[in-house]
Structure 1
């Protein structure tokens, strides 16, 4: 049994106390009117150890009604006969720490305090109200810490029990217990909780993504044309249409040949006509020349022989021009004859047939293209649906396991609580609360007095509930620690506990007094 005693506490500029030394006995009574600093003495102890008030909340101990240089608190403790002088201060807005009056680092100070006793347990014993401020799961953990947990086999069986009178050997594990029994062969329960808490969170996100992917792929498939009942028949029809279109196209292209030939001949004919016209113009120019009977230079009359010579020269020049003109006319006529022989073919009907077939093929080609897109889309959709299903299954599996762990913890607490319950005289442990909307029971942990939760108790009832709780915790944890009762004027018949008792009582018109 660990014995903790507070020998003395010293305050310098701590709240209302400029300088204060308190020596504690087995029973210490602190009395005085309001605002005399009675409760601050209790805070002096918790602040020195943890930097908090007696409820574990952060505390600022600096004075507000007078000037100060430093704040310092010291606590002389005795733990199992060994004394420790611990100090905490504020100097120039910085925290300071002392161990046996030697300055220490924060980590070293916290480590020595931690080695002396557990924080939650000490504060719950020193000021039981602290226990009731903890979360219910922390209260349960602290209360059950000193009881031997039941064997997993027993918990699994009790989870699955169908009737109080059912024999242990006749119990068949329910799905939750059977699942946990199998899983705990590989992992301990805290590991399972960590694994499946993370997996549930991951799968919650992954499931939303998978749902979105499925919806997107389904939307893309809906936008495609309706799938034909026989895609192979559509492909065959498309191939046949292609053959027919190609055949018509060849005929249309053959019909274009005379047209191209005619265009070439028409171009050649235009050139030939220009050539004939040019030859004719040159011939007519010579043909229209007037033969003069006098010399153009001296103006003397030409004799008959000279005139005949000039006429002969004109005829000589006309002959090749006439031949050139005749040749050009011959070439033109040949082109005209070829042009006349070219027969144009009317392909308008063929084009109409081809266009009609191409419209039909647009339908088949669209269906084939849609099917080519549909196939991989459908594959992706099937895969996405499978992933969605697998993700949901994994998520639900983790939810089931987490619920099973919760049920296990609740049953384990129930079995342990049965052991603790016998240690109380006026208090009872409530492990479940009913959800009004569903009628289901949800795990909780609450210590009640006369079937009333702590929050509904009067000041006196709370004090008695705290004193009884501290006595049980002390016995279970095998630790005797000082017990402080604030506002003790509302509590009658306070029995001396095994350890020190500190009573704080308000007395009207009285200055602070410590006995």
Structure 2
């Protein structure tokens, strides 16, 4: 898109009562100081935006004579189509014109926004304007027209392990999502790993508590003969026949039945005295007569059932007692005492054997805890590596982007990032020439820096606009910029002179 100035008309703008400027491919403006050279440049920015060429407020009223109103109009072509814009200040009120038609401020601004971006236009028109912007706006404007390096390009410049790690992951997730995912995983696994370490330590301490004092083989070697001897004696006691066995069984059964009978006597008192609920347990409403009768019937059925069971127990016990009266016990006291003696030796051995089982249990638990701990550590280390790889990706991406931007310039150095103490990159923006920041440049160096910068912006944005080089006498030579060139030079003792030069 090419913007070409054709005619600028000033009426009562600062020192200019009535001035018409016809622009050529090169327009030369010469005069002594205070003859209104810079005012021509300012009139264009005031017409478009109501400011001077660096975006500050501007009073356009005459400085050395009285006038009721100020008028500035500019005829220019944009993409081959001519546009005439005007701004008039009359008795403190502003009137706008679009192709000589009076317009409202909103319509005027809307037309300007459609025609070109304000910051881009002023940066192309005034080589110094770009440097008056906040560094974040400068950075954004420059990067707006420079595509970031593709992920594949960045990965190809990374270490092989980091590339192998990130390449498949970036097919599923964006870099930001991947970073959030593993930041969250790292946070969780950090806590889980600490807990797992504590669990492993606790289980190992418990395992040490159950550490057997006697070897397993020694216990088995001593225990097995005792068990065999016990079994041998038990065979002798068993040989007393069915009578002793039956007596023992009968005594045991009678004993159990007596216990059961005694318990049922207690339970019968509870059942007999059980209060029948006349309200619903859930909703607390009184039961209907039919429901209440059902509850009573159910209670009676349980009592009848209870009586039957009780009578059966009494009957069974009587039968067992009658059978017991017919049997005579054969004494095996000596053999039983011997078994008890052997059992007293077996018990501590079995206790030691139990320790072996407990020890094995905690050993298995500790091994499982160690396995979980290793898995958590592996997952934690993986997330740490991925996060480090993402940091490396961003650093390499920043480096490649900086190289891409730097390649656009011949003499200027551009700094887009600065490294923090934690290794992460922070956005910044600094333009230097010959190792000096822009703020330290001389007037001529500043003009050259501005011209080079606006040339890059023009090429990258594909917008060609006129450029006004003020104080051109301070710079001996410079490369012809893209677009119309308007040069203002101080010539001692000379009145305002405007010369149009076409190719």
TM-score range, shorter chain: 0.5 to 0.7
Asked if the contact 2:179–2:390 (Cα under 8 Å) also holds between the matched residues in 1, the reply is no
In structure 1, C-alpha distance between the alignment counterparts of 2:395 and 2:24, rounded to whole Å:
42
Partner of 2:16: 17
Asked if the contact 2:175–2:390 (Cα under 8 Å) also holds between the matched residues in 1, the reply is no
Once the two structures are TM-superposed, the CA of residue 46 in structure 1 deviates from its matched residue by 0.9
Q: 1:6 to 1:408 in 2, by over 3 A?
A: farther
Q: 1:412 to 1:52 in 2, by over 3 A?
A: farther
Among 413, 433, 452, the alignment partner of 1:428 is 413
Verify: 1:183 aligned to 2:174, yes or no.
no
Among 435, 442, 465, the alignment partner of 2:449 is 465
Partner of 1:261: none
In structure 2, C-alpha distance between the alignment counterparts of 1:405 and 1:104, rounded to whole Å:
53
Once the two structures are TM-superposed, the CA of residue 422 in structure 1 deviates from its matched residue by 1.2
Once the two structures are TM-superposed, the CA of residue 65 in structure 1 deviates from its matched residue by 2.1
- Taking structure 2 as the reference length, the TM-score comes to 0.52
In structure 2, C-alpha distance between the alignment counterparts of 1:8 and 1:148, rounded to whole Å:
37
In structure 1, C-alpha distance between the alignment counterparts of 2:65 and 2:454, rounded to whole Å:
38
Once the two structures are TM-superposed, the CA of residue 473 in structure 1 deviates from its matched residue by 1.0
Once the two structures are TM-superposed, the CA of residue 18 in structure 1 deviates from its matched residue by 1.0
In structure 1, C-alpha distance between the alignment counterparts of 2:176 and 2:48, rounded to whole Å:
45
In structure 1, C-alpha distance between the alignment counterparts of 2:143 and 2:176, rounded to whole Å:
26
Once the two structures are TM-superposed, the CA of residue 406 in structure 1 deviates from its matched residue by 11
In structure 2, C-alpha distance between the alignment counterparts of 1:492 and 1:180, rounded to whole Å:
51
Once the two structures are TM-superposed, the CA of residue 470 in structure 1 deviates from its matched residue by 1.4
> Per-residue displacement from partner, 1:125-152 (whole Å, max 9, x unpaired)?
1112111111111111111111223346
Q: 1:420 to 1:180 in 2, by over 3 A?
A: same
Once the two structures are TM-superposed, the CA of residue 167 in structure 1 deviates from its matched residue by 6.0
Partner of 2:486: 502
Q: 1:138 to 1:67 in 2, by over 3 A?
A: same
Once the two structures are TM-superposed, the CA of residue 179 in structure 1 deviates from its matched residue by 10
Gaps (5+ residues) in structure 2? 182-388
- Taking structure 1 as the reference length, the TM-score comes to 0.51
In structure 2, C-alpha distance between the alignment counterparts of 1:455 and 1:439, rounded to whole Å:
28
In structure 1, C-alpha distance between the alignment counterparts of 2:49 and 2:396, rounded to whole Å:
35
Verify: 1:419 aligned to 2:418, yes or no.
no
Asked if the contact 2:29–2:489 (Cα under 8 Å) also holds between the matched residues in 1, the reply is yes
Asked if the contact 1:144–1:413 (Cα under 8 Å) also holds between the matched residues in 2, the reply is no
Q: 1:112 to 1:512 in 2, by over 3 A?
A: same
Verify: 1:102 aligned to 2:101, yes or no.
yes
Among 468, 477, 497, the alignment partner of 1:513 is 497
Q: 1:412 to 1:113 in 2, by over 3 A?
A: farther
In structure 1, C-alpha distance between the alignment counterparts of 2:406 and 2:435, rounded to whole Å:
14
- Give the alignment of 1:281-320 within 5 angstroms: none
In structure 2, C-alpha distance between the alignment counterparts of 1:485 and 1:415, rounded to whole Å:
33
| Max Rg structure | 1
In structure 1, C-alpha distance between the alignment counterparts of 2:448 and 2:476, rounded to whole Å:
9
Verify: 1:451 aligned to 2:435, yes or no.
yes
Verify: 1:74 aligned to 2:73, yes or no.
yes
Once the two structures are TM-superposed, the CA of residue 56 in structure 1 deviates from its matched residue by 1.4
In structure 1, C-alpha distance between the alignment counterparts of 2:403 and 2:89, rounded to whole Å:
47
3-state SS of paired residue (1:480): coil
In structure 1, C-alpha distance between the alignment counterparts of 2:93 and 2:467, rounded to whole Å:
31
Asked if the contact 1:144–1:417 (Cα under 8 Å) also holds between the matched residues in 2, the reply is no
Structure 1 residue runs of 4 or more that deviate by more than 3 Å after TM superposition: 150-155, 164-168, 170-173, 178-187, 404-415, 432-435, 437-442
Partner of 2:54: 55
- Give the alignment of 1:198-217 within 5 angstroms: none
Once the two structures are TM-superposed, the CA of residue 166 in structure 1 deviates from its matched residue by 4.5
Q: 1:414 to 1:16 in 2, by over 3 A?
A: farther
Once the two structures are TM-superposed, the CA of residue 185 in structure 1 deviates from its matched residue by 11
In structure 1, C-alpha distance between the alignment counterparts of 2:74 and 2:396, rounded to whole Å:
42
RMSD: 3.5
In structure 1, C-alpha distance between the alignment counterparts of 2:394 and 2:467, rounded to whole Å:
31
In structure 2, C-alpha distance between the alignment counterparts of 1:462 and 1:451, rounded to whole Å:
13
3-state SS of paired residue (1:432): strand
